[in-house]
Amino acid sequence: MKGIYYLKRAHLFLKDTMPILLSHHPDCEMFANDYYRIGHLKLCKGCFTAYPTAILIIVLHIMNIIQFQWYEYIIYGVVVGSAQFLSFTDITRYNSIKIFVKIFLGIGVGFVIIGVFTAPFNILIRLFTFFFLVNLAGILSYFRIKKMTRICLECEWKADWNNCPGFADVIRRLKRDGFHNDTKPDYYRLHDISILDDNGIKNAGIENSDCEE
């Protein structure tokens, strides 16, 4: 059945891309401060700090351990969450500061969510406000992506992610399972020698056994 086939393909695609979905960054020394290493797993430091913190804040509110007026939640959330702007400076290159910034971001997100959904307005207005704020946060993510792209462009691989060692494991898996081809803009063809053969994978520091899982 086609439905089962597509579900299996979707599952395989998620499995192949899981390393980058969890880390949100290439496996590269330039981004080593942006993810936690737990065994073979690399977890995005921002997401796996801020989101659990936000969930904890919401749980504490439900348990009546934290209680403010709805507008106080929003005000406090915006103020505390503004710590995220420090991520656009070099100060977050220090690991402890980066973690504290993400904790403050999580607290801010949790407070704002509580404030929006406990506000004395129609549910449609609250939902609209929530999705508006989500899109507003997306603007900050855009600037974060631009910063990451700039780092990649300054690297010797010049954002050629098809050949970059930091993406080699994911690219190899995608090619193996038929999700990836070599079609790309000409300005990305910056290297004549691909690292995505067996020797290249070894040179990139990635064992073949990892890629065959």
Mean pLDDT of the chain: 82
Q: Is 180 exposed, middle or buried (0-12, 13-18, 19+ CB in 10 A)?
A: middle
What CA–CA distance (Å, rounded) separates 130 from 200? 46
CB 73 within 8 A of CB 118: yes
Position 192 scores a pLDDT of 38
Q: What is the pLDDT of residues 130-152, one digit of tens each?
A: 999 888 887 878 887 888 888 88
Query: What are the residue ranges spanned by the domains of the chain?
Result: 29-140
Q: Which of 56, 45, 63 is nearest to 111 (CA)?
A: 56
Backbone Cα Rg of the chain:
21
Give CA–CA dist 203/127, Å, rounded: 50
Nearest Cα residue to 105 out of 50, 36, 60, 58: 50
For residue 35, which of 46, 45, 50, 20 has the smallest C-alpha distance?
Answer: 45
Q: Tell me: the pLDDT tens digits for 77-108? A: 999 999 988 888 888 888 899 999 999 999 99
Percent of the chain with pLDDT over 70: 85
Distance (Å, whole) CA 117 – CA 122: 10
Asked whether the whole model's pTM tops 0.85, one would answer no
The whole-number pLDDT of residue 204 equals: 39
Answer whether residue 54 shows pLDDT above 90.
Answer: yes
Q: Is 179 exposed, middle or buried (0-12, 13-18, 19+ CB in 10 A)?
A: middle
Helix (H, G, I), strand (E, B) or coil at 36: strand
Which pLDDT does position 182 carry in this prediction?
A: 61
